[in-house]
């Protein structure tokens, strides 16, 4: 145990990851999303993608205690359940693909997926029709595959909800419920595949402190009447994380 803690404390980039996950927590607190899009590009510069996925999911469970009760009241639980079920089925396939890809390629995939998500959000892309069950299963499957491969479980679902022009509070609640339900799935699959070490748990414990604190502050700051401000603040933080994580800056 002490050896694992020592390795966690000696982890290169731990300070940068702590700062990044604190920003991610603040953004998630007032928007309901953003953790993976902010944390992953920075984290994968110092640790493997599966380790970053495990840390993100473990800290996510802690933040869910603060976010889920309010989201449970305001969200569409039946719709989220269909998305989450489809995503859970596809996560193992995404994780399996990691073994076939070079870590540098994975970093580019992470950055590319986030950039595409940002473009869709900033340009205000909209899909006016409401998807039926098959459409939601397709969206959930895409989210699960992307989540297993890159840790980015949220972008596909986030674009789906924001593109449907729903109320900010409804979008926030549904995304929080979806991400909370997938945290356990991600953790289980990473552990079953044997893709993380004991020090990853200690890293998660250390990073959970700034993350959960920032999530609670972000939730306290949330005001549905300031949707535009929150969105642009989130976009800027995500863009900064992507730029810092591009392999060309190594």
Predicted pLDDT at 75: 85
Say yes or no to pLDDT of 241 above 90.
Answer: no
Q: Summarize pLDDT for 128-157 with one digit per residue, the tens.
A: 556 677 878 888 898 898 888 888 887 788
Based on the number of CB atoms within 10 Å of its own CB, is 119 exposed (0-12), middle (13-18) or buried (19 or more)?
A: exposed
Portion of the chain with pLDDT greater than 90, in percent = 15
Separation between Cα atoms, residue 250 and residue 248, nearest integer Å: 6
Q: Domain tally for the chain?
A: 1
Predicted pLDDT at 64: 76
**Parent domain of 52:** 2-249
> Alpha-carbon Rg of the chain, whole angstroms?
17
Separation between Cα atoms, residue 250 and residue 246, nearest integer Å: 8
Q: Summarize pLDDT for 8-57 with one digit per residue, the tens.
A: 677 888 999 999 999 888 888 877 777 888 898 889 889 988 899 999 88
Residues 228/41, Cβ–Cβ less than 8 Å: no
């Amino acid at each position: 145990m002490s050896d694992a803690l020592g390795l966690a404390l000696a982890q290169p980039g731990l300070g940068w990851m702590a700062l990044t996950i604190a920003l991610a927590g603040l953004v998630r607190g007032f928007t309901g999303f953003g953790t993976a899009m902010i944390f992953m590009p920075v984290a994968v510069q110092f640790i493997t993608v599966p380790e970053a996925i495990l840390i993100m999911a473990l800290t996510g469970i802690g933040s869910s205690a603060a976010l889920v009760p309010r989201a449970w009241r305001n969200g569409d639980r039946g719709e989220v359940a269909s998305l989450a079920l489809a995503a859970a089925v596809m996560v193992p396939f995404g994780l399996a693909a990691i073994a076939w890809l070079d870590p540098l390629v994975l970093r580019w995939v992470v950055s590319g997926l986030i950039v595409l998500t940002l473009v869709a959000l900033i340009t205000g892309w909209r899909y006016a029709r409401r998807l039926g069950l098959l459409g939601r299963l397709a969206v959930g499957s895409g989210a699960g595959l992307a989540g297993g491969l890159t840790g980015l479980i949220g972008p596909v679902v986030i674009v789906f909800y924001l593109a449907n022009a729903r109320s900010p509070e409804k979008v926030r609640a549904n995304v929080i419920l979806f991400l909370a339900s997938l945290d356990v799935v991600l953790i289980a699959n990473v552990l079953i595949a044997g893709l993380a070490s004991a020090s990853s748990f200690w890293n998660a414990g250390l990073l959970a402190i700034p993350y959960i604190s920032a999530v609670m502050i972000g939730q306290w700051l949330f005001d549905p009447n300031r949707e535009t401000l929150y969105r642009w603040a989130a976009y800027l933080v995500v863009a900064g994380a992507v730029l810092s994580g591009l392999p060309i800056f190594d």
